[in-house]
């Protein structure tokens, strides 16, 4: 692969450079990208940048040889691939029951097709429909299951971005991711169905107009019961997790999280409501580990020695993107969607006696 130059698209306005590379070159590791950026091999409009720099439409990104296979051309749209529409004038609030749903509820099987490629598109469309919490002509909100990645990467072949290929329109345009949540985090994931919607919604996230509330279960009871966590976060050297960093440290970004204890089981476990003000990688997971209350089932950040999982609980990440409130991209009110507890968290709530139906995550959440 020779040196190439790519132009930033309209719907990529404000995207971080590392995320831009992740979208276009998903197999490129962050460590490799850091080296290319640090040595000046990657440039934007001829100037040196950082991985945290944000790109704007029309800018030219210089891409040196990466040692990767060229990304394949987008597949042709499936004939008749259309998503359904719901809602009337403006966005409607869509809220799922607080009762649990399986992490990946099998959708009804579509009519069999002799062509394997067509059959796969039909199955992917049916699966997306089965996890859709809200949809209109501009946006979709999905209830992303535990264990399903949002984007592809090394060794990841099934992910939301790939499944959206099944919803391409006749012009070959597919719905676009507006933000990301971790593979093992369940809950609300916002999807834009047009370039316009993607651009407007991305600006809402950058300007912090979007209100996000997460639920988590942690060991112990944080003190104070309601508080603010403010640190700098940087990627750890092993490139697998984030660490608390010093102000001014290379690649360190400021991160702010508000939390509140909603309920507790004696002094052993707590149910927390979390409101991230910023949106850093693994922010909630790193912040809760920093205050010595790591999220239950977190394989990267749970570091309490000799801690035993209580009987009846599953060792899975107990983090739910519970509710999302964001202005509609056409100015028609707000999109207000809640996701149900995934099966493993519902089981934990039942064992610990937490009652999700008695709690409103927006009204009672800590203020940013």
Is residue 33 in a domain? yes
How far is residue 28's CA from residue 129's CA, in Å, rounded to a whole number?
31
Which of 329, 328, 346 has the alpha carbon at shortest distance from 337?
Answer: 328
Is residue 58 in a domain? yes
Task: Let me know the angle formed at the C-alpha of 367 by 361 and 368, rounded to the nearest 5 degrees.
Answer: 120
How far is residue 239's CA from residue 130's CA, in Å, rounded to a whole number?
34
- In this prediction, residue 72 carries a pLDDT of 41
Q: Are 121 and 164 in contact (CB under 8 A)?
A: no
Is residue 168 in a domain? no
Is residue 350 in a domain? no
The DSSP bridge partners found for residue 54 are 16
Q: Which two tokens stand for residue 115?
A: 């062509």
Is residue 138 in a domain? no
- In this prediction, residue 85 carries a pLDDT of 40
Place of tokens 């993607």: 198
Range of the domain at 17: 4-63
Domain containing residue 17: CATH number:
3.10.290.10
Is residue 175 in a domain? no
β 43-44/60-63 pair status: antiparallel
Is residue 37 in a domain? yes
Which of 363, 364, 316 has the alpha carbon at shortest distance from 341?
Answer: 316
pTM for the full model?
A: 0.70
Is residue 195 in a domain? no
β 43-44/4-7 pair status: unpaired
- In this prediction, residue 154 carries a pLDDT of 74
- In this prediction, residue 70 carries a pLDDT of 47
Q: Are 123 and 178 in contact (CB under 8 A)?
A: no
How far is residue 51's CA from residue 239's CA, in Å, rounded to a whole number?
14
Q: Which two tokens stand for residue 8?
A: 């930033």
Query: At residue 207, what are phi and psi to the nearest 5 degrees?
Result: -85, 0
Residues known to be catalytic: 182
Which of 193, 101, 81 has the alpha carbon at shortest distance from 146?
Answer: 101
- Give every residue of the chain whose pLDDT is below 50, as ranges: 70-99, 101-103
CA dihedral for 69, 70, 75, 76, sign (positive or negative): negative
Q: Are 94 and 134 in contact (CB under 8 A)?
A: yes
Split into its structural domains, the chain has a count of 1
């Amino acid at each position: 692969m020779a040196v190439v130059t790519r132009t930033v698209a309209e719907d990529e306005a404000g995207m971080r450079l590392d995320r831009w590379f992740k979208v276009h070159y998903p197999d490129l590791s962050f460590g490799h990208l850091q080296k290319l950026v640090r040595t000046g091999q990657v440039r934007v409009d001829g100037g040196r940048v950082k991985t945290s720099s944000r790109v704007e439409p029309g800018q030219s990104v210089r891409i040196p040889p990466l040692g990767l296979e060229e990304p394949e051309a987008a597949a042709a749209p499936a004939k008749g691939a259309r998503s359904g529409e719901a809602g009337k004038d403006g966005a409607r609030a869509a809220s799922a029951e607080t009762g649990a749903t399986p992490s990946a509820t099998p959708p009804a099987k579509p009519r069999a097709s002799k062509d394997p490629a067509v059959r796969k598109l039909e199955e992917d469309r049916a699966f997306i429909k089965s996890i859709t919490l809200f949809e209109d002509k501009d946006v979709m909100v999905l209830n992303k299951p535990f264990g399903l990645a949002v984007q592809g990467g090394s060794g990841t072949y099934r992910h939301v971005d790939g499944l959206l290929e099944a919803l391409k329109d006749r012009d070959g345009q597919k719905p676009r991711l507006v933000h990301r949540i971790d593979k093992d985090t369940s809950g609300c994931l916002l999807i834009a169905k047009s370039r316009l919607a993607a651009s407007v919604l991305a600006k809402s996230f950058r300007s912090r107009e979007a209100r996000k509330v997460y639920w988590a279960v942690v060991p112990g009871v944080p003190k104070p019961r309601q508080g603010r966590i403010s640190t700098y976060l940087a990627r750890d050297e092993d490139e697998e997790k984030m660490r608390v960093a010093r102000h001014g440290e290379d690649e360190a970004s400021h991160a702010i999280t508000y939390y509140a204890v909603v309920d507790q089981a004696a002094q052993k476990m707590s149910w927390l409501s979390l409101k991230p003000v910023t949106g850093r990688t693994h922010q909630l997971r790193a912040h809760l580990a920093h205050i010595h209350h790591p999220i239950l089932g977190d394989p990267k950040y749970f570091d309490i020695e000799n801690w035993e999982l209580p009987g009846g609980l599953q060792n899975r990440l107990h983090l739910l993107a519970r509710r999302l409130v964001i202005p509609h991209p056409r100015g028609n009110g707000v999109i207000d969607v809640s996701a149900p507890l995934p099966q493993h968290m519902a089981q934990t709530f039942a064992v610990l006696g937490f009652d999700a139906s008695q709690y409103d995550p927006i009204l009672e959440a800590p203020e940013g």
